[in-house]
Amino acid sequence: MKGRILKGIAGFYYVDVPEAGLYECKAKGAFRKAGVKPLVGDFVDMAVIDEEKKVGNVEKIMERKNELIRPAVSNVDQAMYIFSVTKPKPNLNLLDRFLGMMEYQDVPTVIVINKVDLDTEGETNRLKAIYESAGYQVITTSMKSGKEKEILWNVLKGKTTTVAGPSGVGKSTFTNLMHGTTVMETGAISEKIQRGKNTTRHSQCLALGEDTYLMDTPGFGSMLIPEIEKEDLSDLFREFRDYSPQCRFQGCAHIHEPDCEVKRALEDGKISQSRYDNYLLLYEEVKNRKKY
Ligand SMILES: Nc1nc2c(ncn2[C@@H]2O[C@H](COP(=O)(O)OP(=O)(O)O)[C@@H](O)[C@H]2O)c(=O)[nH]1
Ligand SMILES: [Mg+2]
Ligand SMILES: [Zn+2]
């Protein structure tokens, strides 16, 4: 039977088979020998061992569309980064790190600014402008009111989306809101998975509907992918790529070099100061990072 790994804990993989339900599976020793580790998000072939107990074996892992490094999940179509206009206050440095990581892994990202009902200073529009001009889709919403439910659902529909963002911004509210629009039978699956939740947080995939999945992954945190070199960083700020080919020096870091088009774009207001400042911070961080 064909299914998808929605969760993995301590050597067990929970495989969702449409129509048939959720199976607790072990992976064949052959995978271990080949150095392949099944991932949350994998599409697999599964053999039933005990239908009553819903126990099976993962026989084959289908070719992956992609594989994220951290968190280790596969077959992700897009990322959604949620933050709130206030309560908690936005941390754009965290957001820019996240965007950089997703650029590095070629995962398109949609930005959601939540709690616009609490905005009294036009902060939402200021933030939206920064990221739209950087080339990102930005959705502003108040999850509490459920107003933009349709818009959000249309972004998710037919895709696997990994959701990230600081604590308290409304990620769980979002997940619940999206669950509300789903077909009944997937509800039971996600409940079963939720019940298995323990203190260590694991990545898990939530089936919202046919071909529509949310990935709830811990550990995006504030890290940068270790392989990123300072020379790579500029390309991870997508709007910089519009200007960097015209810099006088190849490999321009856009910091002290003369005739730098990125800095010119900054002066002209085409690149936002906040994005540029975070680039500088990350550049220093990567430069000074200890090599192991
Ligand atoms: N004012 C307001 N509060 C919200 C909104 N969305 C979520 N919240 C509240 O923010 C708090 C944190 O939400 P939660 O979904 O648990 O955030 P998470 O930590 O990212 O999962 C809860 O008390 C929610 O009710 C919103 O659009 N406006
Ligand atoms: Mg939550
Ligand atoms: Zn430059």
Rounded to the nearest angstrom, the gap between the alpha carbon of residue 78 and the centroid of all alpha carbons in its chain is 7
Give the model's pLDDT for residue 146.
84
Q: Under DSSP, is residue 274 helix (H, G, I), strand (E, B) or coil?
A: helix
Query: Mind listing the domains of the chain with CATH numbers?
Result: 2-61 (2.40.50.140), 78-216 (3.40.50.300), 230-287 (1.10.40.50)
pLDDT of residue 252: 97
pLDDT at 220: 63
Q: Which pLDDT belongs to residue 74?
A: 96
In this structure, the residue with its CA closest to atom 9 of ligand 1 is 170
163 CA distance to ligand 1 centroid (A)? Answer: 15
pLDDT confidence of residue 209: 84
The set of residues, in sequence order, having a beta carbon less than 8 Å from that of 164 and lying 6+ positions away, is: 79, 80, 81, 82, 98, 171, 217, 220
In angstroms, the Cα distances linking 106 to 100, 103, 114, 141 are 10, 5, 25, 26
* Ligand index nearest the alpha carbon of residue 253: 3
Strands 78-84 and 212-216: unpaired
Cα of 20 vs centre of ligand 3, distance in Å, is: 56
User: What distance in Å separates the CA atoms of residue 201 and residue 14, rounded to the nearest whole number?
Assistant: 15
Helix (H) or strand (E) holding 80: strand 78-84
**Scanning the structure block, which residue is given the tokens 């980064």?**
81
Question: For residue 186, what are the CA distances in angstroms to 20, 208, 235, 268?
Answer: 11, 6, 40, 50
Question: CA gyration radius for the chain?
Answer: 21
d(CA 130, CA 158): 28
Closest ligand 1 atom to residue 175 Cα is 15
Predicted pLDDT of residue 201: 67
Residue 153 burial (CB count, 10 A)? 17
Quote the pLDDT of residue 72: 86
Taking the CB of residue 19, how many other CB atoms lie within 10 A of it? 6
Amino acid at 83: F
Model confidence, pTM: 0.90
Residues in contact with ligand 1 by the CB-under-6-Å rule are 114-115, 117-118, 142-144, 165, 167-173
Instruction: Tell me the C-alpha distance between 198 and 125, whole Å.
Output: 39
pLDDT on residue 6:
96
The whole-number pLDDT of residue 222 equals 59
How remote is the C-alpha of 184 from its chain's centroid?
26
Question: Ligand 1 centroid vs 145 CA: distance in angstroms?
Answer: 11
Gap between the Cα atoms of 23 and 61, Å rounded: 15
Q: What is the block-wise mean pLDDT of the chain (292 residues), using blocks of 10 residues?
A: 94 93 92 89 96 96 91 94 96 95 94 96 96 98 88 96 92 87 39 44 84 83 74 96 97 97 98 98 90 61
What number of other Cβ atoms are within 10 A of residue 47's Cβ?
13
